[in-house]
Amino acid sequence: MAFNKNATGYTFLFSIVMVLIVGIALAYTSLSLKPLQKKNEADKQMVDILGAVGITTTRENAKVDFPRFVKERLSLDFEGNVLNSTSGNVDPNDTSDPFNLDVKKDYRSKKPASELSFPLYICEKEGENIYVIPVAGSGLWGPIWGFVALESDMKTIYGAKFDHKTETPGLGAEIKDDFFSDKFKGQKLRDASPYFTILKGGRKIEDMHSVDGITGGTITSVGVGEMMNRTISIYQLYFNSVINSSEQ
């Protein structure tokens, strides 16, 4: 070897060049695959929304099934006023479509609620309106999110579906399993905060406002409770206005 590959200067040079090459390669991969990944995420979101309402569909059929069951998509402001309403097929490029509001990104941005809009999906199943609320929050290692479906009385939970990015397999990651989300069915929200609790042991069977958390997944379970309460408190304003207007 003509050069000393263990010289400090060379070591630095090598590192810099390596980081540049790797950075460019990864940035290129990420950018070129972004459109496909976006589409997959949108399909998954439709599958999950329908899943919260108890309709099983596949990624392939999601585009067709979604507009069939979701009759209206709303976006609300933090005081529960309707900002926008759409129905029919989802246009991934239409930024005014509530479906394209990214609640996970909004949560990460830590902006105050007054600067955000909140999507709400109104589904119709067996002649009843079902309200699907997207929730997003933090687990132990990373983001968790999900959809909570409320019956037409806006109190009773019709179904729920949760997912996560990097929770521990076998512990916190189990929030995405049906055994956990099935427990929410038929439970009721309280009239005031906290609307719903995820308990760590000691739950009474007759308690209609809570479910058991996951053993060994306490922080993830607490995260689920936190994101539900934070989000529902905003949608509650909208629900109150709907109930008031129907009573008059």
Partner 1 sequence: MGTENSEITPKRESLFSKKNRKLLKDPLGDSNPITIQVLGICSALAITVQLQQAVIMSLSVLFVMIGGNVIVSLLRNLIPDRIRIIVQLVIIASLVIIVDEVLKAYQPDISEKLSVFVGLIITNCIIMGRLEAFALANKPGPSVFDAIGNGMGYAWVLLAVSIVREIFGSGAISLPGMGQVKFLPEEWFIASGGFYENNNLMILPPMALVVVGIIIWIQRSRNEALIED
Specify the residue, 56 or 248, whose C-beta has the smaller distance to partner 1: 56
Cβ neighbors of 171 (< 8 A, separation 6 or more) are 214, 215, 216, 217, 220
Closer of 77 and 167 to partner 1 (Cβ): 167
Maximum separation of any 2 CA atoms in the chain, in Å: 90
Q: How far is the CB of 224 from partner 1 (least distance, A)?
A: 18
| Minimum separation from the CB atom of position 5 to partner 1 (A) | 5
Residue 129's DSSP bridge partners are 124
Q: Which residues of the chain form contacts with partner 1 (CB under 8 A)?
A: 1, 5-6, 10-11, 14-15, 18-19, 22, 25-26, 29-30, 33, 36-37, 40, 43-44, 59, 166, 169-170, 173
Q: How far is the CB of 220 from partner 1 (least distance, A)?
A: 14
C-beta of 106: minimal distance to partner 1 in Å?
Answer: 22
Whichever of 34 and 105 has its CB closer to partner 1, that residue is 34
Measured CA to CA, the distance from residue 186 to residue 54 in angstroms comes to 13
Residue 11 or 81 with smaller CB distance to partner 1: 11
Length of the chain: 248
Closest CA to 108 of 147, 142, 151, 68: 142
Q: How far apart are CA 143 and CA 246, in angstroms?
A: 37
